[in-house]
Amino acid sequence: MSLRPDIEEKIIKMLPGEARVTRIEFEGPHVTIYSLNPGYIMSNSDLVKALAKELKKHIIIKGDEKARLPKDEAERVIKKVVTDGGNEVDKIYFNDQLGDVYVYLKRPQLIKGLEKVILSETGWRPIVIPTALDMSKGLPRDDIDAVNNVETIMGKDRAEFLRSIGLRIHRLPIYRNEYVKVTCLGACFEVGRSALLIETSESRILLDAGVKPSGSLDESPFLDIIDLDNLDAVVISHAHLDHIGMLPYLYKYGYRGPVYMTEPTKYLMEILLSDYIDLSSERGYSYYGLSELASTLYHAITVDYGDVTDISPDIKLTLYDAGHEVGSAISHLHIGNGLYNIVYTGDFKYGQSKLLNPAHSVFKRVELLIMESTYGGKDDVQKPREEAETELIQLVNKTLENGGKALIPVFSTGRAQEILLILNEAMQLGKLSKAPIYVDGMVLQTLNVHLMFPDYLNNTVRELIYDGVNPFMSEYVKPVERAKNPEKRQEQVMDILQGPPSIILAPHGMLSGGPAMDYFVHMADDPKNSLIFVSYQGEGTLGRRLVQGERKVNLKYYDQDITVNVNMNVFHEPGFSGHSDRKQLMNYVGRIEPKPHKVMLVHGEPGKLINLALSIELKYKIDTIMLNHLESVKLV
């Protein structure tokens, strides 16, 4: 007997006998209906819509074991259906326990309608994943395979995990004394280590679990106050380390619940955390290892933009486009039966870019808006994007014409792809001198993720990818796979620096480590070269110090203490930031629908937060909250 016979009874009553329902399961956040005639249900889509509306649950239709074709026959049908749609299959994997079939495509193409046809004709529920093989031009895909392997190797065990989580999520509420409380565990009066705990009488939800850019354990969020046994879910806004860096740490110390994110964020998370594990080991500290990362991926449940998803007995989650990086999400939490609604922006960009759409701003209800404030200071107004693009091209052109090289430190995902699009287009249009564009580090792996998920990009880039065009690559782009041997790496770097004038895109965007450092230490002394920052520079980072005018810096480089004299030109073009500037932050508060009752500011330096809070209260007459770490506010 299910813990929710009321749900089962409604489903049986609403579905006609032709549906031939055999059983109903709660699999994670979904209510799954197993049927001997899934094709009938799928051909009557209004039935599923009516069920979802009546139950206020996310409904999935699957074929009963007896309705599924044998695997070899199902594989032949799937290949025919996919090929007729203009796609090409990379590989197919069946999960018997869940009745799912993973169909990996060799290139991203429109797959609308494939799922319905495959389920109807085979009885297996398809999960279609493009792997971008034909688009990547030899770019590494080890990280993509690592994520997919978790799905396939550990897929059988996930049936038990999802059903145990499903029973926890879909149980009836127990407590009558409803309340909502927010506690700040990180990113309060600072940038980095984002972590917020949402508590109700029924649930405990953690929003993000990041690290500071410095990576020091004593600057991690205050996660030790969380009772991991009673934590219902973690929600991840996007894959930057200051929002995911401590996530595997939770699994190391006993958390075994779900973590919700978009599909692109899952792949980016594997790439960035794998590198972070290697870097931490090199620096002599290790919070967790690859086994904890694998556990994180195993417990990941992906959510599409706009899908309303139950994540606890009294909380529904909906993710929306945040415009910050591919797959970044604004989280909407609907608590109780209309009790309270929270919108958490994570990092967001309320403006158009070459790569992404502007952040979503229309919701059904908003009582509390929790908003990042990285550029909340009164002078934090970025140039219009077109002006910033023109200035960047001029700076790079001048450097190349003077016989120098332009080093552009970038974050591996988001800014890297944005800048690459701009440089590629400018070079092809003749606005930028022809020169090699070297792309180093994890930028290569994250390029694949962008190619896998065109629907998370803006219309222009999406259509190019679906038309078979890779907008990130051209004859000028030279991928650099980082040599792991230090001696070989130095040879690799010197070969590039001894070559003709060129452009180098390399992580880390704040010069706090990463491949960019290999170039910086050798380029810094030459006044013909340029260092161009295109993103936020955190407090205490080398990037911030250089932007503020420091020209003699002491560094630890390959376990050696060195002094670097910086004679190269240093520029800061923040108009490319994936964060909203002061004007955009104010516009977002003014235009968000409906108007929130309160605004809580996080992820900003103290002076910027205070100034932004005063402006919001004066202009919009909205109460504004700022918490210190470990402070709470009771909302209901």
Q: Are 108 and 452 in contact (CB under 8 A)?
A: yes
Q: Given a cut of 90, is residue 493 above it in pLDDT?
A: yes
> What pLDDT is attached to residue 374?
95
Residue with the larger pLDDT of the pair 276 and 600: 600
Name the burial class of residue 100, with classes exposed (0-12), middle (13-18) and buried (19+) by CB atoms within 10 angstroms of its CB: buried
Q: Where are the alpha helices (DSSP H) in 453-599?
A: 459-466, 486-497, 515-523, 542-547, 582-591
Distance (Å, whole) CA 109 – CA 450: 13
Query: Is residue 314 over pLDDT 60?
Result: yes
Can you give the C-alpha Rg of the chain in angstroms?
25
Q: What is the per-residue pLDDT across 197-217, written as a single tens digit (0 to 9) for each? A: 999 999 999 999 999 866 555
Taking residues 600-628, report their average pLDDT: 97
Instruction: State the pLDDT confidence band at 68, using cuts at 50, 70 and 90.
Output: very high
Q: Are 567 and 553 in contact (CB under 8 A)?
A: no
The larger pLDDT score, comparing residue 180 to residue 278, is at 180
501: confidence class by pLDDT, cuts 50, 70, 90: very high
Q: Which amino acid is at 258?
A: P
Please check whether residue 184 is in contact with residue 631, taking contact to mean a CB–CB distance below 8 angstroms.
yes
State the Cα–Cα distance between residues 217 and 188, nearest whole angstrom.
Answer: 17
Domains of the chain: 5-66 (3.30.300.230), 70-141 (3.30.300.20), 172-379+578-634 (3.60.15.10), 385-576 (3.40.50.10890)
Between residues 96 and 328, which one has the greater pLDDT? 328
From 54-68, 207-221, 473-487, the region with the lowest mean pLDDT: 207-221
Could you report the per-residue pLDDT of 273-299, keeping only the tens digit for each?
998 898 887 777 778 999 999 999 999
| Average model confidence (pLDDT) across the chain | 92
Which two structure tokens, joined as six digits, stand for 628? Answer: 């210190």
The pLDDT of residue 247 is above 90:
yes
| pLDDT at residue 110 tops 70 | no
Rounded to two decimals, what is the model's pTM? Answer: 0.94
Residue recorded with tokens 């016979």: 5
pLDDT of residue 138: 67
**pLDDT tops 60 at residue 100:** yes
Contact between residue 60 and residue 31 where contact means Cβ atoms under 8 Å apart: yes
**266 vs 412, which has greater pLDDT?**
266
Average pLDDT over residues 449-478: 92
| Distance between CA atoms of residues 333 and 346, nearest Å | 13
Identify the band that residue 542 occupies on the pLDDT scale cut at 50, 70 and 90: very high
Contact 24, 8 (CB under 8 A): yes
d(CA 185, CA 199): 13
- What's the rounded mean pLDDT across residues 556-568? 91
Tokens matching residue 622: 């909205």
pLDDT digits (tens, 9 = 90+) for 26-37: 999 999 999 999
* Confidence (pLDDT) at 215: 55
Residue 452 pLDDT greater than 70, yes or no? yes
Higher pLDDT, 139 or 4: 4
Per-residue model confidence as pLDDT tens digits over 576-587 = 989 999 999 999
Mean pLDDT of 389-408: 97
- The rounded percent of the chain whose pLDDT value lies above 70 is 97
With pLDDT > 90 as the criterion, what percentage of the chain qualifies?
Answer: 73
Spatial CA neighbour of 455 closest among 116, 111, 117: 111
Mean pLDDT, residues 344-361: 96
pLDDT attached to residue 1: 40
Tokens of 408: 């552009």
What integer pLDDT is reported at residue 203 of this predicted model? 96
If pLDDT is split at 50, 70 and 90, which confidence band does 537 have? confident
Alpha-carbon span 119 to 380, nearest angstrom:
52
Choose between 366 and 87: higher pLDDT.
366
Q: List, for residues 368-395, the tens digit of each pLDDT value.
A: 999 999 999 999 999 898 999 999 999 9
pLDDT band at 358 (very low <50, low <70, confident <90, very high): very high
Distance, CA of 503 to CA of 404 (rounded, Å): 9
Handedness of CA 319, 322, 323, 326 (dihedral sign): negative
Residues in the chain: 636
Q: Which residues contact 179 (CB under 8 A, 6 or more apart)?
A: 199, 200, 201, 634, 636
